[in-house]
Structure 1
Amino acid sequence: RFAKVYATRGANRIGRVYKKAIFRQFTDDTYSQEIPKAAWLGFLGPVLKAEEEDVFIIHLKNFASRPYSVHPHGVFYDKDSEGALYPDGTGGKSKEDDFVVPGGNYTYTWPQNYVKFILPCRFWAKNCISLSAPRLLSFLNSIPSQAFFITFLFVCNLGTADETTIEGTGAANAFALMFSIVDENFSWYLDENINTFCLEPDTVDKEDEGFQTSNRMHAINGYIYGNLPGLEMCADTSMSWHLFGMGSEIDIHAAYFYGHTFTSRDQRADVVGLFPATFITAEMTPGSPGRWLITCQVNEHLRGGMEALYDVQICQKNLSHSSPISHKRRYYIAAEEVLWNYGPDGYDKFTGQGLNATGSESATYFTQGTDRIGGQYWKVRYVGYTDSTFSKKTWSEDMKHLGILGPVIKAEVGDMVLVTFANKARRSYSIMAHGVSFSKLSEGAPYLDGYLKPGAHVKPGETFTYKWRVPENGGPTESDPPCLTYLYYSATDAVKDTNSGLVGPLLVCRKNTLNHDGTQKGIDREFYLLFSIFDENDSWYLNKNIEAFTGDPSKVDEKDADFMESNKMHAVNGYLYGNLPGLTMCKNDKVSWHLIGLGSHYDMHGVHFQGNTIDLRGTTRDGLALFPHLSGTALMQPDRVGTFKVVCRTFDHFVGGMKHLYEVSSCRNSTRAQQQHGTMRLYYIAAEEVEWDYASNKSLAPKIYNISSYEESYGHVFLSQAEDLIGSKYKKVVYREYTSGNFTQHKVRTEEEEHLEILGKKAALITGIFCLNLGPLLHAEVGDSVLIVFKNKASRPYSISAHGIEEVGCEEQPETPITLPGEINTYRWNVPERSGPGKTDPNCITWVYYSTANFVKDTYSGLIGPLVVCRKGTLDERGLRKDIDREFTLLFMVFDENESWYLKENIETYLHKDPDDFNSTENFVEGNSLHAINGKIYNNLLGLTMNEGDRTNWYLIGMGNEVDIHTVHFHAQTFIFKTDKDHRGDVYDLFPGTFQTVELVAENPGTWLLHCHVADHIHAGMETTYTINKSGADFFKCHLKFFRFMYRFLINDSLLTDYNNKVGNFFGKTLSPGEASLILAAFFCIGLVLLSTALIFFCFITHQGNRIHYTALHDKSSFLADSL
């Protein structure tokens, strides 16, 4: 029934066939003979491949009916080959690449720069890494990927680009898949498709919700519901999946490969998260022959047909035999229907109010009435038993926190897991496991694969035994924690079954990791947390719940928006508002947190552990992002006694009750707390109310889109003042820094700090960090203490609280003290070792601070700022970094002014209307959602300027709501981000409550676009430019050529194919004439550099002498300033 929505042609429905524009490849510039491409590419363009130091030369001829271009990701290009139209200050030839008119030609050149790009790629891809080349003109003028000009681009290690098939089999050893909801409503060809394919085109209403839904095609390479052809591979042969996502806010994808695991960035998994412009290469060795499913496990996308089939074939006579089974682990699990209470304690543990208290946040979900169910529901859950009689349940106090979750299943590499499942419920269910290997007989998911699978439909009253294995190549990698977190669930109807309650945790561990009782060696406490919005509207038991709990079932409208919202339970393990029991531990315990995501595209969770930090693969964090069917393992060693919060920082989820408490007790003679022996860093910060302009220069918006006025641009709703549009100016509250406790003089911001915008004001910084609407950038080193003297100069209570650090005085209760209007309070933050960079982190890591008086409204109103914690010895005596040249802070967030404390004042001030009589419209709500970078939209963020060769760090901050998925893209540059290894990219994924330091060396002079790659956000103005000023030295290319050669020379890489006759000798190395010439050229360049340096130094000394003489005569103070 779901497929009919998208695939059926009708009077006012287009169906499954659309006109599109695609890339095609030809043999030469006559464009007369097309080069065939693999069927599995679908509507994607041909795969482009190159090796290190190759050059891509793309001859584009536009046979389409409108202008297009080609823009690549992850490769080097100059301004004349960028293929992107935006105000970058260029003209002439550098603008010709921006678009190619119909019938026109253009040649793009992308050299593969050895130093900038290729070297770091060795760390995270076996041979080739996947990139993308979307067209950028139409990307900026329409929702991306709807035309559909996108192709895959691979950059490979030397000698590997031609390895495209498995020798002797014809089977491919690499596939490229794009997951995207292709929204045909935003295609250039929508009107043509309506007229061509709708049976009665005159009856089409393009604004009709049903029509628009039918045109959102949940596709993999342009195919839906398993229609993607040609995914065939050989068993026991390594191969690669090159994966990426494109699209809008709802393009949150969990790509799941049934029956197999893979490694990606040295992590073992069977699901990978994909977001707009996210590129992932996954290495797999298929083990189980058969036809297997690839899906996006996000509920709406699974139903919408985002699935394909891949065939694992037996290509060799002698397949490798399975390793002997080291251990059999038996579990007995039943599905049982239960009456579940989402709030068994009856009150909100954070406010003390009853869960159904009138006006409370929890009342929406816990009020029972005529047409409301309340907080109790009939559900079904997995229950563990001790043996096959299913008479005695397994239970221990440690399991108390599991809630709705099924029993924990654990296995080590080499084990066989035997799960006997008894269905005690009233309909068919199954068990489908992530992270393990199994035959078709033990698969718990039904689909058309040609096999009988009794385990996919276990009927009521029946039992079935699943047999799963953990092969030698299926366990944690060296980069993984000792145990990987997965989940198991019922997949008979994966959406309804899981919303009804059938889900449980599964651990796959290294050998000899588990004790005889199944606990983890070296771990004192294990906790399993499922973050999921249980949608009771989509439960098998909805009608039963309506009949059982509403006052008058006949008055229930199941499609009523308020009724549906009341049934969306923002739960952790099935509990809301602090009602989750059992999260207790001792100080200094070694704690393993196993975190699981599940649900729909709203289930984007920013999990935050207040009061302590966690170790994620050698990096220090205090939270992580979760998505449906993705999971993570985090290690913690709490060092403070007290009660702390574990919450989802996604705003709606936090308000909806996805927040709980964990308690750390002093259980044994613990050591005294470490004394802070570092620097006491003093800041004077105030909360001030200001008039904030998101776009002071509104003319930049039409320039972005190459149109005549902003009334016609996508930005009109955000920039214009009208009957129901406030415009770009709003009253807000921001953190501001002062010079002293008198709070009379702001610290002056320098030119380098111009970009800070909403992040707040900071004193002069030589290295530069920009954010005016963000609070001041605070620096600290491990061992320091930060003392905040905070004055509330605003009109309502606020506070200041930080992530990652130790808040002194908050041990007894988890809430930060608030400061009333006009008051001054002092907040002290200690920075212990566990708050600083982990062993594989960069020198400084990013945290954030904000007001927690009302976390959501305070942040939307403007109170947020960055905190950077560095290793010892990183900061100079002024508290500034001495290891880099420049630092920048960027907050990507949709500021929802509808949720600001100042909404009514803004209506009065800018619309001149009584807010109590004002009728909100859809236009008004949209216009108040400002898609900002540091509080600025449409290229209004200034100050992102650096010099060629500068070493820069960028502190990226994600906060906000379900729409705040941000894929931050730097044009023309790549950066390093760290996990346990270095990874290079040009897009970084940000989510609410996540922060990252990325390292970028400014190597490509010019003005370049920096934006969120989510299509909706580009249109709404989440974009700016950054500028790299060209260095005065003209010898950079000579240096580059020399270092390229020397790198290859030192690793004895004999790849200089132009030089074959070895005749010379250099430090024990035999050289060809060509190699000798290169070394001579290199030394010549070095000599020129040294000579030029000497001349420059001589000129500088001469000039400085004259300058000192003049300054000394006129103003000694200015001479001192110049000298400093």
Structure 2
Amino acid sequence: MARTVTPFACCLLALLCAAAAGKRGRERVYYVGIIEDFWDYAPSGKNLLNGEDIDYDEHASVFLEKGPQRIGRVYKKAMFRQYTDASYSHLAPRPQWLGFLGPILRAEVDDVIVVHLKNFATRSYSMHPHGVFYEKNAEGALYPDGTSKKLKEDDSVPPGGSYTYRWEVRPEFAPTDDDANCLTWVYHSHLDAPRDIASGLIGALVTCKKGILKETNNPVHTTSNSDIPSARNDVDQDIFLMFNVVDENLSWYIEENVQNCSDGVNIDQDNEDFEESNMMHAINGYLFGNLPGITLCLHQPVAWHLFGMGNEVDIHSAYFHGNTLLDRGHRTDVLSLFPATFATAEMVPKASGKWLLTCQVNDHFQAGMQAFYEVKSCGSDPSSTAKSGVVRNYYLAAEKVLWNYAPSEKDLINNKSLTEANSSSEVFFGRDGGRIGGRYIKVIYKEYTDETFTTIKPSANEHLGILGPVLRAEEGDTLRVTFMNKADRNYSIETHGLHYDKVSQRSSSDEQMTDMTPGSHVAPEERFTYTWHVLEGPSSSDSPCVPYLYYSATDAVRDTNSGLDVDKEFFLLFSVMDENISWYLSENIQKFGNTETDPLDEDFEESNKMHAVNGLMYGNLAGLEMCAGDKVRWYAFGLGTEVDIHGVHFEGNTFKKQGTTRDTISLFPHTTATVTMVPNTPGVHEVSCRVTDHFSAGMRQQYTVKYCKGHTMGLLHTEPTRVVQYFISAEEIEWDYAPNRSWELEKHNTTLEDSPGNIFLGKGENRIGPRYKKVVYREYTDDTFRVQKRRQLHQQHLGILGPIIKAEVGEQIVIAFKNNARRPYSISAHGVRASGAHIPVKPGHILELTWDVPESSGPGVSDPNCISYAYYSSVNFIKDLYSGLLGPLVICRPGILKRGEGPDRQREDVEKEFALLFMVHDENKSWYFEDNIRTYLGIDPDTFVPDEDFEESNLMHGINGKLYGNLHNLEMVQGQKVDWYLLGMGNEVDMHTVHFHAETFTYKTDRVHRADVFDLFPGTFQTVEMVAGNPGTWLLHCHVTDHIHAGMETTFTIKESSSRDVLSSTAPGTEGCIKTLLLLLAFGLMGAAGQH
């Protein structure tokens, strides 16, 4: 046997091992040091957007001017820097535009990244990566995870110390087939991640598909972007940009930076103006056009890697003027970024010139979050971009009008007066105390029939409200818009998504010049003709039509605050229109105010923030009518500032977006969304923003679905394939947000008194502490409601949530709802066709509800097998929600749930499922607020006067209602398939970027994408899919700075499996060897059999 098998086996071994070796990746070695140095946010000393010196610029001086009690533009920071070798004697060259970011770490699938870190700083730091595989000794993140000694050395590298991190790009962390060739990730220090990052310790990491990167990862010195040889084979360049309001108040070096002020001793660091002056609205650490050296070549592909970091203010709409991009296959010119959001987009520049790259969030735009990028011909013919199609002419005028935000003078949702005492609408429409009320002088776009501007063109779209006319064009067309300014100050038209010559540049900031191009400032009674080219239409993944905004950009902030294959189209703009910064505030005060009017009064300012849909509030938007069975396309837009995160909920019907089924759209400033609906539920339904403050402030409208002759529609009722019965009650309980504070104290290495959690969990004078009276949904065994169901181990992670209600498409859910609480409540659901949804159930009463689950409620063609919604009480949506009434609803494809009796059916296709609600529970808005003051403070609530600190202490940043590691039972076994149902609800602060350490997941739009952070907003419900692969206890948290410190963190545990997926748990490269050995064994056995 030996003589027969050995030669063949040896040959086979040689061949297979060679193949296995060929598949192994490279080891990419980086020498990285942490240095301390001074960073200049505007090294030119100028606002390069207009050429003004910082000291003389109204906006730049707020942040960059140095003074006796102002730090100015130079701050001490800690930064990651790359060195050429292990001597750490020579800094590696780096592109200028990289700013204070650390070096770019690049690797391909199967590669290993080896980082030799040396800490030259004066305090301990670490290095924690996103998007790659690491073991516990290379996580670089300090938190209670059950490890000690050597497994903790990576978490804290002391001054003068060194540590070597080893990270792997395993296939399960690779870009999916649908992803871009390279994915954007980051690395950062993680002892106290918010403060470490604010101090400067963050950099970009990119993982690529096989064959994308060039052989070397050595940095190349350059002074100009155009001279940088690409590190990739597929694009001409890749550019990395971080959009971040850098909070220098959080930096570890704030005390040292204060001492650089000439009067630093007398600085009050808690002064709001001082704190604001240290909020640097930066792109890679540069403000007001000071970002250097981004130069691209015409018609050459570019990969843009963008990411956000920071706090609740870090909502960014990155707008590329002049050119468009493909974001996950979809055409756009705006990328939305949030803390720990990573975006990868591809651009092929088609318009040469120097272009703006800006954050379009109003406050950020004004505060200098703007830069330039330049497109040069590089030998390419600029005229080679083909223009075909037709010329479409439009005639638009800007005109002053007296605008009424509620022409009916009524709250048409609740059928009551807008000025009813103590109503939420009275805040905005009442006129006591010098308030303006609901009418304001504004400027709007109007369309005329021709260039004489004598005849207004009638609008066929009653619902447009304050919006200008819809401009339409196809790929290859030219839009020629003749604009006449009939108003009393300069205005312009700026458009997204189209190409134009530099002479038509409409933004007031252009190429470091103070003189303006003709189209950027059209004077009163003057006219200008804009010529725009539609060079790139919708991508193959887009809807047939892609919506873009157009707006005046003479002063982009003040101007916008001043005002086919489907059966129906509707256009909806959601924006908090801030009349305080309208050009016409003084005129409005003069016309509608009185002697009591104080423009600086907080209540007056609040009364002028009009939470509008198309400029109308509280159900006053007319014209949203359609027939049941129509194919309806909704185009939704966002505009505004940091508060303008909108969760737009369509009650009563679902829609399709990129192949998925939803009933809520997330919108942000200067972003758009297109969804298609086939309404089959006749009646009057709400379309509203579910952000709680926006909901109460009137961002609510109604749409009507009618029966129409000749219109086909789905059956309203079919016999269900199964009836699923639930018995659910509303129960009043005492809820403890943090029964154990040991995890919190270990993580922050502190005492109870000094912990950041003490603000929320400390009990004492004017502090309620961790326990509150609440009301929750709980499940019973039958209709007697005598025996409450005990939660099984796999359900105990639900915490404050009600039971998971599950059904398949075609089934009917029947709920017997008993109100065991002391006030009326209800149970209403997203996504399903419900009866009895808004009926208040009195205390002690029972109501039976039916929820039908038609095909339109189930997963879309691109969705996972089960999608998630939520159910909650809607008697008073806001107060009921904050009192505790919310639960998850899961709808699956037929055949996914296991057969059996009762509602506790598990899924056939996954082994674990978890539902997580990320929400700031505002106990100040609970029905039980006064009860909690009385019970836990021992004070009469009628005499108690709450202050801001008290109100802050009642904001509980919870995951399923638990803080600081107190949510338990998130356990799984290595190799198990896990679905996570992520739920977002709440207010403007409820922007949550959910990060899983050590694991990635996939989420589905029309394609499958990999991530380790998912963005949640009020009304966002998303299923993400994971295969548990890395044994250990790992951190799961919201990546927003304040939310981390406030306790929105817990851990999940993956238990090691000796019998499951042995091959997948081996290190890269060993898999091939194991396969080789198995093959040899098989051949050996075959050979042995042949000898007998």
Say whether the fold is shared (TM-score over 0.5).
yes
Match of 1:1002 in 2: 1028
Which shifted more, 155-164 or 625-634? 155-164
- What pairs with 1:150-169 in structure 2 (closer than 5 Å)? 150-162=202-214
- Does residue 436 of structure 2 align to residue 373 of structure 1? yes
Match of 2:474 in 1: 412
Q: Decide which of 559, 563, 583 is 2:604's aligned counterpart.
A: 563
Residue by residue over 1:761-793, the C-alpha shift from the partner in whole angstroms, topping out at 9 and shown as x without a partner, is xxxxxxxxxxxxx01001000011101100000
- What pairs with 1:369-448 in structure 2 (closer than 5 Å)? 369-396=432-459, 398-448=460-510
Q: CA deviation at 1:158?
A: 2.2
Higher relative contact order (CA 8 A, sep 6+): 2
| Root mean square deviation of aligned Cα | 1.9
Residue by residue over 1:166-191, the C-alpha shift from the partner in whole angstroms, topping out at 9 and shown as x without a partner, is 99886861110000000001110011
Alpha carbons 2:1063, 2:1071 under 8 Å: kept: no
Q: Decide which of 488, 512, 535 is 2:578's aligned counterpart.
A: 535
- Does residue 155 of structure 2 align to residue 98 of structure 1? yes
Match of 1:1054 in 2: none
Distance 1:470 1:913, change over 3 A: same
The one-letter code matched in structure 1 to 2:201 is F
Alpha carbons 2:226, 2:296 under 8 Å: kept: no
Match of 1:866 in 2: 888
Q: Distance in 1 between matches of 2:136 and 2:738?
A: 26
- What pairs with 1:57-68 in structure 2 (closer than 5 Å)? 57-68=114-125
Alpha carbons 1:620, 1:841 under 8 Å: kept: yes
Match of 2:696 in 1: 655
Match of 1:180 in 2: 244
Distance 1:268 1:369, change over 3 A: same
Match of 1:757 in 2: 799
Q: Distance in 2 between matches of 1:94 and 1:79?
A: 6
Match of 2:647 in 1: 606
* Structure 2 counterpart SS, 1:151: strand
Q: CA deviation at 1:235?
A: 1.0
Q: Distance in 2 between matches of 1:855 and 1:267?
A: 35
Residue by residue over 1:33-86, the C-alpha shift from the partner in whole angstroms, topping out at 9 and shown as x without a partner, is 111111100000111111111100011111001000000001110000000000
Match of 2:179 in 1: 124
* Structure 1 counterpart SS, 2:78: coil
Distance 1:588 1:1086, change over 3 A: farther
- What pairs with 1:262-301 in structure 2 (closer than 5 Å)? 262-301=325-364
Match of 1:580 in 2: 621
Q: Distance in 2 between matches of 1:1087 and 1:103?
A: 55
Q: CA deviation at 1:345?
A: 0.8
Q: Distance in 2 between matches of 1:310 and 1:1082?
A: 55
Q: CA deviation at 1:358?
A: 1.2
Alpha carbons 2:983, 2:1020 under 8 Å: kept: yes
Q: Distance in 2 between matches of 1:896 and 1:168?
A: 53
Residue by residue over 1:1007-1041, the C-alpha shift from the partner in whole angstroms, topping out at 9 and shown as x without a partner, is 00000000100000000000000002387147767
- Does residue 191 of structure 2 align to residue 133 of structure 1? no
Distance 1:3 1:737, change over 3 A: same
Alpha carbons 1:144, 1:247 under 8 Å: kept: no
Residue by residue over 1:456-488, the C-alpha shift from the partner in whole angstroms, topping out at 9 and shown as x without a partner, is 0000001111000111xx211111111111100
Residue by residue over 1:673-692, the C-alpha shift from the partner in whole angstroms, topping out at 9 and shown as x without a partner, is 24033110100000000000
Residue by residue over 1:702-741, the C-alpha shift from the partner in whole angstroms, topping out at 9 and shown as x without a partner, is 112122x221111011111011110000000000000011
Q: What is the total number of aligned residue pairs between the two structures?
A: 1008
Match of 1:983 in 2: 1009
- Does residue 301 of structure 2 align to residue 238 of structure 1? yes
Q: CA deviation at 1:203?
A: 2.0
Alpha carbons 1:732, 1:902 under 8 Å: kept: yes
Q: CA deviation at 1:202?
A: 1.6
Q: CA deviation at 1:293?
A: 0.5
Distance 1:279 1:729, change over 3 A: same
Q: CA deviation at 1:988?
A: 0.2
* Structure 2 counterpart SS, 1:24: strand
Match of 1:492 in 2: 554
The one-letter code matched in structure 1 to 2:176 is C
Residue by residue over 1:603-622, the C-alpha shift from the partner in whole angstroms, topping out at 9 and shown as x without a partner, is 00000000000100000000
Alpha carbons 1:441, 1:452 under 8 Å: kept: no
Match of 2:669 in 1: 628
Match of 2:522 in 1: 458
Residue by residue over 1:375-395, the C-alpha shift from the partner in whole angstroms, topping out at 9 and shown as x without a partner, is 000000000111111111122
Alpha carbons 1:1039, 1:1085 under 8 Å: kept: no
Q: Distance in 1 between matches of 2:201 and 2:1078?
A: 43
Q: Decide which of 813, 821, 834 is 2:856's aligned counterpart.
A: 834
Q: Distance in 1 between matches of 2:1082 and 2:551?
A: 64
Q: CA deviation at 1:1045?
A: 7.2
Q: Decide which of 956, 965, 973 is 2:999's aligned counterpart.
A: 973
Distance 1:5 1:248, change over 3 A: same
Match of 1:909 in 2: 935
Match of 1:686 in 2: 729
The one-letter code matched in structure 1 to 2:983 is I
- Does residue 816 of structure 2 align to residue 789 of structure 1? yes
Which shifted more, 23-32 or 99-108? 23-32
Match of 2:103 in 1: 46
Match of 2:36 in 1: none
* Structure 2 counterpart SS, 1:333: strand
Alpha carbons 2:101, 2:202 under 8 Å: kept: yes
Match of 1:1114 in 2: none
Question: Equivalent pairs: percent with the same residue?
Answer: 52
Alpha carbons 2:138, 2:166 under 8 Å: kept: yes
- Does residue 751 of structure 2 align to residue 699 of structure 1? no
Distance 1:1012 1:463, change over 3 A: same
Match of 1:1096 in 2: none
Residue by residue over 1:1068-1098, the C-alpha shift from the partner in whole angstroms, topping out at 9 and shown as x without a partner, is xxxxxxxxx7753243689999xxxxxxxxx
* Structure 2 counterpart SS, 1:495: helix
Q: Decide which of 349, 367, 371 is 2:412's aligned counterpart.
A: 349
* Structure 2 counterpart SS, 1:555: coil
Alpha carbons 1:232, 1:313 under 8 Å: kept: yes
Distance 1:159 1:650, change over 3 A: same
Distance 1:1045 1:1005, change over 3 A: closer
Q: Distance in 1 between matches of 2:164 and 2:92?
A: 19
Q: CA deviation at 1:144?
A: 5.2
Alpha carbons 2:355, 2:510 under 8 Å: kept: no
* Structure 2 counterpart SS, 1:20: strand
Q: Distance in 2 between matches of 1:857 and 1:167?
A: 57
Match of 2:873 in 1: 851
Unaligned runs of 5+ in 2: 1-57, 231-235, 1086-1092
Q: Distance in 1 between matches of 2:68 and 2:674?
A: 51
Match of 1:145 in 2: 197
Q: Distance in 1 between matches of 2:891 and 2:538?
A: 31
The one-letter code matched in structure 2 to 1:749 is R
Alpha carbons 2:397, 2:448 under 8 Å: kept: yes
- Does residue 722 of structure 2 align to residue 722 of structure 1? no
Unaligned runs of 5+ in 1: 502-519, 759-773, 811-815, 1047-1076, 1090-1124
Q: CA deviation at 1:93?
A: 1.3
Alpha carbons 2:299, 2:380 under 8 Å: kept: no
Match of 2:134 in 1: 77
Q: CA deviation at 1:122?
A: 3.6
The one-letter code matched in structure 2 to 1:1083 is L
Q: TM-score, normalised by structure 2?
A: 0.90
Q: Distance in 2 between matches of 1:693 and 1:243?
A: 39
Q: TM-score, normalised by structure 1?
A: 0.88
Distance 1:1020 1:482, change over 3 A: same
Q: Decide which of 709, 716, 721 is 1:673's aligned counterpart.
A: 716
Q: Distance in 1 between matches of 2:807 and 2:1083?
A: 42
Match of 1:819 in 2: 841
Q: Decide which of 404, 420, 424 is 1:361's aligned counterpart.
A: 424
Alpha carbons 1:685, 1:738 under 8 Å: kept: yes
The one-letter code matched in structure 1 to 2:346 is E
Q: Distance in 1 between matches of 2:729 and 2:1069?
A: 50
